[in-house]
Amino acid sequence: MSPDPTAKRGCPGGDGLAGDRLSDLPDGLLHTIMSFLPAPHVVQTCVLSRRWRDLWRSTPCISIEEDDFLITSEAGSYLHEWEEKWRKLENFTTNLFMFHNNVASLDKFRICMDGRHASALRLRDMDRWLRRGIKYCPQVLEIIISRSCPPIPFPHMGASSCRLKRLHLDGLHLDNQFAELLCSGSPVLEDLELRWCSKSFQEFKSSTLKRLVIDCCDNLTGDLVVIMVPQMAYLRLRVTPGLYSNGISIYETASLVKASIHLLCLGKTFSLKHQRWILGNLCNVPNLELYGFQTMAMFVEESVEFPIFTDLKTLSLELCFLEKCDLNNKLDALGSFVQNAPCLEKLTLQCCMFAVESEEEGQLVRKNIILQPQDQNTFRCPKLKFIEVVYMADHDHQLVELLWGIGRRLPDASIILTNFFVD
C-alpha cells in the first residue's frame, strides 16, 4: 500500500500516525533517548530534521568508544586499518569537544580506548580527551584503557569532582592525588570500580563510598593495603598472584552487606596469616563469597583465636580447599568454620575440595570405594538448611566421598547437587 500523500510528514503536531511525534517530545526526554547511543550516532541525529539539528550539542551523556569507528573499506594490513580507524576517532573526538556546549552539567562521560599501537602523540591525545571530559564535571565517569596500552596517569580532577557519584577506571595509573580525591575531594562519590589499574598509594579512605570494587590492580608500593570505608555496603576484591604479599586490612565493616574476596593465586602467594586476617575483618558480613582460600585458613584451632561470624547468612566457597591433603581434614576445616557461623542458612561449595583431573592413559582408577562413618567429627549449625554442591565432573568417585563426608559432618542440612554445565 502506498503512503497517503496528504499525511503530514516531519511536521510537529501532525495528528496522523505519520506525524513526527518523536520531535514533539521535550529536550530532556530526547536527551534521555540519545544517552543510550554511541557518540557518533548521537551526532548523526542532526540530519533528522531542523528540530534535531543542535540537540546533540547539549546532550548530557557522551560515550566515545574506539570500536564504534569501523573501517568498511578493504584497507590492506591490520596496522593500516588501525591507523585509519584512529584517524576517524581523533577527528571526530576533537570536533565533538569543540562544538559540545553542555559544559557544567554532564550526567555521564565514558571513553573506551584500545591504544595498543599508540604513539607518544596519541597518548597525549588520549590524555587531552580525558582532561576535557573531566572538565564537564560528570556525575558518572568511566575511563577504560586497554591493558596493552602504556599506562596513562589519571588526571587530577580538582573541583570537577564536586558532582561525581560513580567512578569506573580500567587500565590507568593512580597516584597519591587519587588517594586524596577519595579521602576529601569527592563529597558525593558512592560507587568506585577499579580494574587492572596500578596504584602507588597504601590507603583507600572515603566517608561516602557505598560500593567498592578493586579488581586485579597492581600494588606498586608493596605495602599493606588498608581499606577504611565506613559506609560501604558492597566490597569486591580480586587479588592477583604476588601483588598483595603484605596483606589487606579492612576496617569499619558495620555497614557491609556483601563481600566477595577472590584469591586468584589460590592462596599460594597470599599467606594463611593474611587469609585469616581478611576473614577476621569480615566477621560482621551477612553475605560472603570466598574464592581460592586454603584449608587451614578456615580451620578453627583451639590454640588460635578465631572470629565468630555472628551475622553470616549465606556463604559461597569457590575453588577452596584445593591443596593436596586428606579429604577428612578438609571437611573438618569446613565444619569447624561453619560451626562458627550460628546464623548461617545456606552454604554453596563450587568446585571445592578436589581439582578436576582428566583421565590420562595408563592412570589407575579405583574400581570401588569404602565409606567409613566411624571416628568422624559432627558439627552443628542450627539454622543451616541447604548445602549446594556445584561440580564439574566426578573423577575417581571423589564426588561420592565428598557428599558422604558432608552428610556425616553436617547432618541437619539438605544437600543439593548441581552440575556446573547445566543451567
Integer Cα distance of 177 and 154 in angstroms: 9
Give the pLDDT mean for 6-26. Answer: 55
Answer yes or no: are the C-beta atoms of 292 and 267 closer than 8 Å. yes
Collapsing DSSP to helix, strand or coil, 114 comes out as coil
Answer yes or no: are the C-beta atoms of 71 and 26 closer than 8 Å. no
Integer Cα distance of 205 and 182 in angstroms: 6
pTM of the model: 0.87
Integer Cα distance of 295 and 304 in angstroms: 15
Q: pLDDT per residue over 53-79, tens digit each?
A: 888 888 899 999 988 887 655 555 666
Average pLDDT over all residues of the chain = 86
How far are the Cα atoms of 39, 114, 151, 199 from residue 148, in angstroms, in the given order?
Answer: 24, 8, 9, 17
Question: For residue 115, what is its C-alpha cell?
Answer: 591504544
Give the pLDDT mean for 190-215. Answer: 96
> Residue 227: beta bridge partners?
204, 250
Integer Cα distance of 204 and 194 in angstroms: 12
What is the per-residue pLDDT for 3?
42
Q: Which of 289, 248, 240 is nearest to 268 (CA)?
A: 240
Q: Higher-confidence residue: 307 or 82?
A: 307
Q: Which residues of 50-61 are buried (b: 16+ CB within 10 A; e: fewer)?
A: ebbeebbeebbb
Question: For residue 124, what is its C-alpha cell?
Answer: 597525549
Question: For residue 298, what is its C-alpha cell?
Answer: 578456615
Q: Which residues of 79-113 are buried (b: 16+ CB within 10 A; e: fewer)?
A: eeebeebbeebbebbeebbeebebeeebbbbbbbb
Q: Any idea which of 248-252, 350-354, 392-396 has the lowest mean pLDDT?
A: 392-396
Collapsing DSSP to helix, strand or coil, 381 comes out as coil
